[in-house]
A and B are shown apart, each in its own frame.
Chain A
Amino acid sequence: MSKKVKKRLITILLSSLVLIIATLLITMNLKDNIIYFYSPTELQGASIDKKNIIRVGGLVKEDSYEYNDKTKIYSFIITDNSNDVDVEFVGIMPNLFAENKGVVVEGLAIDKKKITAIKVLAKHDENYMPPEVIDALKKEGQWQEK
């Protein structure tokens, strides 16, 4: 290795180190701005402005999904198994919306326990299975609905 090459190698290693540290500092400090949604627990600790749109995500709690025919209001509870947030929504539900499945809602917080949603997004997980396999697993009692 020539002297020049060695010098450049050191330059690039040092500047990479600085770049990585700088990026780590930035991303760690921007955490609140980078997250797409709050979990119900994170929401309790977050400072929220009631005029600003926020997003909350988690699982749709079992037996909490209701639709009021008269008012056209959908209501359900988002949970992360330690905290719950009530949601009310008027609009079109995504096809994949279901109890015990992931969901992200966008809307205005009435307080830290209640949100009026403007948009409901279904969050799906990273598991892909054919329907028959799911049926077989359920039969054997090996499939756990989360």
Chain B
Amino acid sequence: MHLKLPNKIIDSLRRMLPAFIVATIVTFTVGIYYAILNSPPDYLQGDSMRIMYVHVPAAWLALSSYSFLALSCIAWFIFRNPIFNLFAKSIAPIGATFTLIALVTGSIWGKPTWGTWWAWDARLTSMLILFFLYIAYIMTWQTITNKDLAAKISAALGIIGFINIPIIKFSVDWWNTLHQPATISKLSAPSIHISMLTPLMLMTFAYVLFLITLFLIRYKIEILDQKILRVSS
């Protein structure tokens, strides 16, 4: 079985790669302008709250990337089409990087607001586990030389790790944590002012474009890797 449609979509997206790169740079410029210069400080936290504009989108995309990875693993398990492994392999290092960005910026934010770089609360710990899950997934492919075996083990790992995503999301509601609950997903009154929501949304948009750009590049590399393997074997 061969999936023609995803390949077709990715081919046409790849032709738009230069446009994605330009769009990423432009939105990041506008987003950072709003985040640093054209938005007010927080009434309580002052300027340190601006770290949110890099921290929150990174965390959102770290979770979304893992969901995409896990869904690809499930699709591979059911349909056994190697294209799904390429999806998962392409997104893994990107997701790991976003997780690391969220962890590091969170730590830098934590020091001036909470008074500590790190706390072993449920949100922070489950986020660290997410980082290890990404690393484990990447390492499975790199250390197991038998590709069929690597596919099976990495898919199992990716699927089992999926359980961590709702744990991260709801950790702040289920348990007492130092980390505050979500600002955006609340259905009640908005708890962030529009002048701060604008830079946050711009930065999120920039992050998404950046993610797509990186994914297209990574996917191309994975395809080339496969071709080299086929020729050399």
B146 sits at the interface (CB 8 A): no
Cβ < 8 Å to A, chain B residues 136-186? 159-160, 163, 167, 174-178, 180-183, 186
Q: Is A134 an interface residue (CB 8 A)?
A: yes
Chain B residue contacts of A37, Cβ below 8 A: 176, 178
Q: Tell me which residues across on chain B come within 8 A of A133, comparing CB atoms.
A: 43, 193
Contacts of B49 in A (CB 8 A): 128
Check A35–B175 contact: CB distance below 8 A: yes
B180 touches A124 (CB 8 A): yes
Q: Check if B112 is an interface residue, CB within 8 A of chain A.
A: yes
Closest to A101 in B: B44
Our pick among A8, A36, A104, A126 for the contact of B183 (Cβ within 8 Å) is A126
Whether a CB of chain A sits under 8 angstroms from the CB of B26 is no
Taking a contact as CB atoms under 8 Å apart, the answer to whether B176 and A57 are in contact is yes
Chain A positions 1 through 25: 1 when the CB is less than 8 Å from some CB of chain B, otherwise 0: 0000100110110001001100100
Known: A122-B113, A123-B114. A36 touches B40 (CB 8 A): no
CB-contacts of A91-141 with B (<8 A) = 92-97, 101, 104, 119-134
Range of interface residues on B (Cβ < 8 Å): 35 or more
Chain B residues lying within 8 Å of A31, measured Cβ to Cβ, are 175
Separation in Å of the A7 CB from the closest CB of chain B? 10
Segment among B73-81, B90-98, B213-221 that sits at the interface with chain A: B73-81
* Contacts beyond the supplied A39-B176, A124-B45, A128-B42: 18 A-B pairs with Cβ under 8 Å: A12-B78, A19-B160, A19-B163, A27-B167, A35-B177, A36-B119, A57-B178, A94-B114, A119-B116, A121-B114, A121-B119, A125-B191, A126-B180, A126-B183, A126-B186, A128-B192, A129-B192, A131-B43
Q: What are 15 sample pairs from A and B whose C-beta atoms fall under 8 A apart?
A: A12-B159, A16-B159, A20-B163, A27-B174, A35-B175, A35-B177, A36-B177, A96-B115, A124-B44, A127-B192, A128-B52, A129-B196, A130-B43, A132-B40, A133-B193
- Mark B residues whose CB is within 8 Å of A: 40-45, 49, 52, 74, 77-79, 112-116, 119-122, 159-160, 163, 167, 174-178, 180-183, 186, 191-193, 195-196
